[in-house]
Structure 1
Amino acid sequence: MLNSTQVSYFTLAAYFDTGVFKYLYFLIILAFYIAIVCSNVFLIVVICMNRSLHEPMYLFLCSLFVNELFGSTGLFPFLLVQILSDIHTVSAPFCFLQIFCLYSYGGIEFLTLAIMSYDRYLAICYPLQYNTRMTPNKIAKLTALIWIYPILINIFIVACLTVPLQLCGNIINKVYCDNYYVVKLACSDTTVNNIFGLCHMFTVIFGLILLILYTYMRILKVCFSGSKQTRRKAVSTCTPHLASLLNFSFGAFFEIVQGRFNMSRVPNMLRIILSLYWLTCQPLFNPVLYGLNMTKIRIICKSLGKRM
């Protein structure tokens, strides 16, 4: 029986021989990564350099864009190396580090989107009290919560729950390291892992889902009973956020389904695309969604384009 300290590496079994096409895949992934870095960095700079954008909504957006850089950097450089490699292995410490980065990215993303829902709820349902409710001190606390909680919880999951497990194998059927697949390799009792996962899901994830549903129900109520100007404001500010939220939810759903159900009948390439969807589509689409739909950002970007 092997334990986690004796497993020096993991083999990523989802990769397959692509021949000369691996260079094409490498260029596609590299283009995606460059697009993600350039677009997110550009919008972060735009928000930070323009005082007119130093409002709660744009500060939370800035945090969202920073997280896109964090998550994509935890994935794309690794993918680029693995695509060109003939031996798809990863050291155990790096594997656990990638698990921490990707799971932290997912937690930060979902928590940010939930808090942005709350922010839109206050702005639309309580416009006259918005500035007194969403104070700079409250924004700082919410931003700290967005980053500190997922990071601490994932340090605990990886260091205290996953690393100590006794493992009977080292083959992960994915193109990157995944905590669920590592736990599936365990020979030892995983009851604590399962109980913690269920408790975390019901208390935190379902709690955030209820918060999002409540805020949008109230927003819809105000839209139906309010003026055209109120409806226009709600649509312009909530549409990109709702699109981002649905995109992330679908990606997470695909990932959960693929891990929990038998997907052997699904073509390998499609399984790889579905497993990468939630990690690649958000960093790619969020800058486009918010850059094109948020009026202030669009105006500033156009003025910058004219100057250049």
Structure 2
Amino acid sequence: MDVNANSTYVRLDGHVQVKQYRYLYFMVMFLVYVLILCSNFVLVFLIGFEKSLHEPMYVFIAALSLNSVLFSTAIYPKLLIDFLSEEQIISYTACRVQYFMFYWLGGSEFLLLAAMAYDRYVSLCKPLLYPTIMRRTTVSILLVLAWLVPAGHVAVPPVVNINSKLCTLTLKGIFCNNTTKYLYCVSPRALSIYGVIVLVNIIVFPILFIFFTYAKIFVIAKQNLEVRRKAAQTCLPHLIVLISFSCFCAYDVIVAGLESDFPKIVRLIMTLQVITYQPLLNPIIYGLKMKEISKHVKKLFCRVKHK
């Protein structure tokens, strides 16, 4: 089987009764996608144009929203096309690109959350050094690393597998994620080991770092009422986003290991939650829970209403 041929297509077999409910699926997911775009772009717009929000913490929130937009755009347009198509297929090349985008941007989410945790740690635990440490250059470096490090890690499997022999062209999913490894006749052991290294580097280490910095913050918060108040305002939303995204990533890892045993309808429901909740959760949590952002959001909608 020539995997480089343009005629090689992968069938996405994770859909359930798509012919019967295609228009319902399409309308619901289209509305969700529009809501994701609008809510995240509102945050990016506000943070970009409001000078009072030109602080590292809000810059990282804007980066997180932009990351959510890119993450959703890697999945939703193709998904919407599939709902209206007679066959749910994707070219092998596009499948590898989608796999890369999904895990690259997913990994970036964790590193952006880690950068935000570091910013909160410096702000609450070392307030006098905050302007010196969290300069514009530092913020730029953290943002670049948050996007480049996962990209470098995740690019390896699609490149290594470019000439691998395919034993099946059916994928038990609605887009190309971890289950693509079952397309290949032989999955190199070295690649499996590398996958564990990637998991540790871009997920486990950032999570451990976040919990370490927050432990430091909570120790100081016990002794300082002002720090406790600020921690409640800025750290709680961060932890909610982290825990929810970690749960979805855990599901993605588990479903790859139980590829043949997972019920199809359960797989579909959980997969839709993975690509729906997190991109929507970020702007809702930060927009409602962050006092400064919430204030500017209300102002923006008041202006629109009066016009």
Residue in 2 that maps onto 1:210: 208
Matched residue SS, 1:90: strand
Residue in 2 that maps onto 1:58: 58
Question: Is 2:18–2:83's contact at 8 Å kept on the other side of the alignment?
Answer: no
Matched residue SS, 2:207: helix
> Do the aligned partners of residues 166 and 262 (structure 1) sit closer, same or farther apart at CA in structure 2, a change above 3 Å counting?
closer
The whole-number CA distance in structure 2 between the counterparts of 1:149 and 1:246 is 22
Residue in 1 that maps onto 2:176: 177
Following TM superposition, by how much is the alpha carbon of 1:293 offset from its aligned partner in structure 2, in angstroms? 0.8
Residue in 2 that maps onto 1:86: 86
The worse-fitting range, judged by mean Cα deviation, of 52-61 and 199-208 is 199-208
Residue in 2 that maps onto 1:303: 299
Question: Is 2:12–2:173's contact at 8 Å kept on the other side of the alignment?
Answer: yes
The whole-number CA distance in structure 2 between the counterparts of 1:262 and 1:81 is 25
| Pairs within 5 Å for 1:75-154 | 75-154=75-154
> Do the aligned partners of residues 21 and 185 (structure 1) sit closer, same or farther apart at CA in structure 2, a change above 3 Å counting?
closer
> Do the aligned partners of residues 200 and 264 (structure 1) sit closer, same or farther apart at CA in structure 2, a change above 3 Å counting?
closer
Following TM superposition, by how much is the alpha carbon of 1:242 offset from its aligned partner in structure 2, in angstroms? 0.7
The worse-fitting range, judged by mean Cα deviation, of 241-250 and 275-284 is 275-284
The whole-number CA distance in structure 2 between the counterparts of 1:265 and 1:204 is 26
Query: Deviation per CA, 1:198-243, whole angstroms, max 9, x where unpaired?
Result: 222334432212211211111111111222x221110000111111
Question: Is 1:183–1:190's contact at 8 Å kept on the other side of the alignment?
Answer: no
The whole-number CA distance in structure 2 between the counterparts of 1:168 and 1:255 is 23
Residue in 2 that maps onto 1:221: 219
Matched residue SS, 1:21: helix
Following TM superposition, by how much is the alpha carbon of 1:276 offset from its aligned partner in structure 2, in angstroms? 2.9
| Pairs within 5 Å for 1:5-20 | 5-6=4-5, 8-20=8-20
Residue in 2 that maps onto 1:286: 282
2:244 to 244, 247, 255: 247
The whole-number CA distance in structure 2 between the counterparts of 1:189 and 1:30 is 36
- For structure 1, the 5+ residue unaligned runs are none
Identity, % of aligned pairs?
A: 33
Residue in 1 that maps onto 2:40: 40
Matched residue SS, 1:128: helix
1:77 counterpart letter in structure 2:
P
Residue in 1 that maps onto 2:31: 31
Following TM superposition, by how much is the alpha carbon of 1:189 offset from its aligned partner in structure 2, in angstroms? 4.9
The whole-number CA distance in structure 1 between the counterparts of 2:17 and 2:115 is 43
1:234 counterpart letter in structure 2:
A
Cα RMSD, aligned residues only? 1.7
TM-score, structure 1 length as denominator? 0.93
The worse-fitting range, judged by mean Cα deviation, of 126-135 and 57-66 is 126-135
Question: Is 2:74–2:98's contact at 8 Å kept on the other side of the alignment?
Answer: yes
Question: Is 2:153–2:198's contact at 8 Å kept on the other side of the alignment?
Answer: no
- Name the count of aligned residue pairs: 303
Question: Is 1:165–1:183's contact at 8 Å kept on the other side of the alignment?
Answer: no
Following TM superposition, by how much is the alpha carbon of 1:81 offset from its aligned partner in structure 2, in angstroms? 0.8
Question: Is 1:162–1:182's contact at 8 Å kept on the other side of the alignment?
Answer: no
Query: Deviation per CA, 1:160-200, whole angstroms, max 9, x where unpaired?
Result: x232322211111001012x322222223512211211222
Residue in 2 that maps onto 1:186: 184
The worse-fitting range, judged by mean Cα deviation, of 247-256 and 200-209 is 200-209
The whole-number CA distance in structure 2 between the counterparts of 1:209 and 1:307 is 39
- For structure 2, the 5+ residue unaligned runs are none
Question: Is 1:3–1:168's contact at 8 Å kept on the other side of the alignment?
Answer: no
The worse-fitting range, judged by mean Cα deviation, of 53-62 and 268-277 is 268-277
> Do the aligned partners of residues 204 and 101 (structure 1) sit closer, same or farther apart at CA in structure 2, a change above 3 Å counting?
closer
In the alignment, does 2:256 pair up with 1:259?
yes
